[in-house]
Amino acid sequence: MVFKILVSFFAFCLTCFGEVLDVSKAFDISTAQDSQNLEIKFKFGENIYIYQDTFEIKLNGERINSLLNMPKPESVGDHEIILQDFSLLVPFKLVGENLKDDKARLEILYQGCAKNGICYRPQSKIYTITKIDDKFSVAAADKQDTNQLSDEENIASELDSSGFLLSLATFFGYGLLLAFTPCVFPMIPILSSIIVSKSGRNLNAKTGFMLSLVYVVAMSLAYALAGVAASLLGFGVLGALQNVWVLSVFALFFVLLASSMFGFYDIKLPSKFENLISKKSQNSSGLIGVFIMGFASALIVSPCVAAPLAGALLYIAQSGDTFYGGTMLFGMGLGMGVPLLVIGASSGKILPKPGAWMDGIKSLFGFLMLIMAVWLMARIFGSFFELVGYGVIGVFMAVYFGAFEAAASGAMKFKKALAILVFVYSIMLIAGGFLGSRDALSPLSGLNFTSFDQAQLNFRSVKNLNELKDLIKNADKPVMVDFYADWCASCKEIEKITFKDSAVAGKLGDFTLVRVDVTQSGEQNDAILREFGLIDPPALLFFKSGEELKPLRTIGFISPEKFLEKISKI
């Protein structure tokens, strides 16, 4: 019954976006030609417009807007927009002056929105103009060479051409591959703590699986709805949730949950609601809370963008088919939740029976909840708060589990040894915080034990889109642009694993390195994300001679080996 309600809610939420025009109907572009000119006709759907500053006409990569009869824009607020249908004439004489092997590439770039607030991703239309016996032939390049597409564009193309069941199975597989990434890891202690907190009710494998299923379905629904919203509303959807108020409330919730684990109080619904729920089902109590926790965890605890997610978002934005794309994201979320379902199904076997051991396990998860609270607030207060916070919690945890108590039996001695190790590591974390370390896995790195190669990585920062464009255009070396945010788990994984690899650091010495920090949402950061068709970090973009090398665009984590393979092609 619960599952049917969730599925119905999911379908209802997606239909809320059903009035969005297909992108081909929102922007209808056609061509006509005579002996002198190529005419490009733009026809907008109802209540559709485009931004003037995103509208570009390029001939063999060179912007030619100033040479054409551009439409007159209208001022609306802070933006210049084009509201009315219009036509452009591209003289074949101009094309003839820019031919390469009797061919020219004409590219039209634009981004538009509907007046109801829904915006489409940046769009492009490409034409190949060929000269044969002093005559020009124009053909639309609707099917692009897959060798010139980024990973997410390839995935979007596969979605467009594959059947429903095959696409769903593919995205479920993508989810399985993503299940062991930083996107999912933070959810393991959250779900485990929920299971442990209910263990006093003679929890069995069936009940544990049901709790996990509700949690995973809610998580999958959150990914689907957030994905649809990101595609339709633009960018920075996950980043918008990483503000001080949302993170503080969620961190406070973890502290409250931890306090209940320590036995300070029990978190229960009011008895009136408990009795009402128990009349329906003995096992349904608390499922609503588990659902809310799963939904919120996906959005707040582990914001993550990977190539499959970006590909589905690109498909939704380009096709307007929110239900199909959202269902694929829902399937991906289910795949990501498989390890969590395994934890729930096995809970009846791996958890000890109620008693002293269970009290110890509940306390352990209480400390894990406190660590989760520090991890969230570190996105606001920085690395010093993170390392010192972990260290302080670790000291209390070590003392709680008997680091300095006498141990009689062998099991108690083993427990004491582990507690002492936790205590020593916690002291290192506290010291590392004051030494300026940034990595909890390397707390003494503040003593400047970093390698020479790593020290050579010098990222330049930019404040706005114009500054970034100028840097890319004027660079005398290939450019790598790293889109980063403090709240992005995969961004930190790239920084700690990929960029710290000595071979990678050596190769990146041949690049101009640029970092766009989008930790804080704002007009400047939103404009940069919009320009490059990105939703949220992590993303690595590569440029050469001012042009992006799209096949090398990387969304999500990439290992040092695969990274080296990519940049060796530049």
Distance of CA 149 to the CA centre of its chain: 20
For residues 442 and 451, give the distance between their C-alpha atoms in angstroms, rounded to a whole number. 13
For residues 481 and 479, give the distance between their C-alpha atoms in angstroms, rounded to a whole number. 6
Query: Burial, 163: exposed, middle or buried (Cβ in 10 Å; 0-12, 13-18, 19+)?
Result: exposed
* 221-276 pLDDT per residue, tens: 888 887 777 666 555 556 666 667 777 887 887 888 788 778 776 655 445 444 44
Which conformational region is residue 545 in: left (phi greater than 0), alpha (psi within -120 to 50 degrees), or beta?
left
CB atoms inside a 10 Å sphere around CB 333: 27
Q: Which range (5-9, 200-204, 312-316) has the least confidence?
A: 5-9
User: What is the average pLDDT value for the chain, to the nearest integer?
Assistant: 77
CA distances from 40 to 65, 97, 114, 384, 546 (A): 13, 19, 22, 57, 26
Q: Which range (290-294, 352-356, 464-468) has the least confidence?
A: 352-356
* 480-489 pLDDT per residue, tens: 999 988 777 7
For residues 298 and 295, give the distance between their C-alpha atoms in angstroms, rounded to a whole number. 6
What's the one-letter identity of residue 319? S
What's the one-letter identity of residue 242? Q
For residues 368 and 209, give the distance between their C-alpha atoms in angstroms, rounded to a whole number. 22
Q: Which residues pair with 39 in a beta bridge?
A: 32, 89
Residue 36 and residue 92 in contact, taking contact as beta carbons nearer than 8 Å? yes
Question: Any residues with CB less than 8 A from the CB of 434 and at least 6 apart, and which?
Answer: 384, 388
Question: Which runs of consecutive H residues, i.e. helices, occur in 46-150?
Answer: 92-96
For residues 227 and 303, give the distance between their C-alpha atoms in angstroms, rounded to a whole number. 11
For residues 433 and 431, give the distance between their C-alpha atoms in angstroms, rounded to a whole number. 5
The CA-based diameter of the chain, rounded to the nearest angstrom, is 98
For residues 31 and 37, give the distance between their C-alpha atoms in angstroms, rounded to a whole number. 10
Is the model's pLDDT at 279 over the cut of 80? no
Peptide bond into 339 cis (omega under 30): no
Q: Which range (225-234, 366-375, 529-538) has the least confidence?
A: 225-234
Q: Which residues pair with 41 in a beta bridge?
A: 30, 87
Q: Which range (144-153, 192-201, 549-558) has the least confidence?
A: 144-153
Question: Which runs of consecutive H residues, i.e. helices, occur in 262-382?
Answer: 271-280, 287-296, 307-319, 322-336, 338-345, 347-350, 356-381
For the chain, how far is it from start to end, CA to CA, in angstroms? 55
Q: Which range (1-5, 26-30, 424-428) has the least confidence?
A: 1-5
Pairing mode, strands 112-114 and 547-548: unpaired
- Residue located via tokens 């061509």: 31
Question: Which runs of consecutive H residues, i.e. helices, occur in 110-265?
Answer: 151-161, 164-178, 187-197, 205-233, 237-240, 244-261
Between residues 247 and 466, the one the model is more confident about: 466
Q: Which range (2-11, 86-95, 281-290, 554-563) has the least confidence?
A: 2-11
Average pLDDT in the 297-313 region? 70
CA distances from 7 to 214, 217, 297, 339, 539 (A): 11, 9, 19, 21, 32
For residues 466 and 333, give the distance between their C-alpha atoms in angstroms, rounded to a whole number. 37
Is the model's pLDDT at 527 over the cut of 60? yes
For the whole prediction, is pTM greater than 0.75?
Answer: no
Give the model's pLDDT for residue 18. 46
- Percent of the chain beyond pLDDT 90? 10
How does residue 7 score in pLDDT terms, banded at 50, 70 and 90?
Answer: very low
Residue 525 and residue 236 in contact, taking contact as beta carbons nearer than 8 Å? yes
Identify how many contiguous H helices and E strands the chain contains and give both numbers: 24, 18
Give the model's pLDDT for residue 259. 83
For residues 109 and 88, give the distance between their C-alpha atoms in angstroms, rounded to a whole number. 14
* 381-394 pLDDT per residue, tens: 888 888 999 999 99
- Would you call 129 helix, strand, or coil by DSSP? strand
Distance of CA 477 to the CA centre of its chain: 29
DSSP assignment, residue 351? S
Give the model's pLDDT for residue 5. 44
Average pLDDT in the 184-206 region? 67
For residues 371 and 42, give the distance between their C-alpha atoms in angstroms, rounded to a whole number. 55
For residues 98 and 424, give the distance between their C-alpha atoms in angstroms, rounded to a whole number. 69
For residues 427 and 47, give the distance between their C-alpha atoms in angstroms, rounded to a whole number. 61
Give the model's pLDDT for residue 25. 76
Average pLDDT in the 173-183 region? 77
- Would you call 311 helix, strand, or coil by DSSP? helix
Is the model's pLDDT at 78 over the cut of 80? no
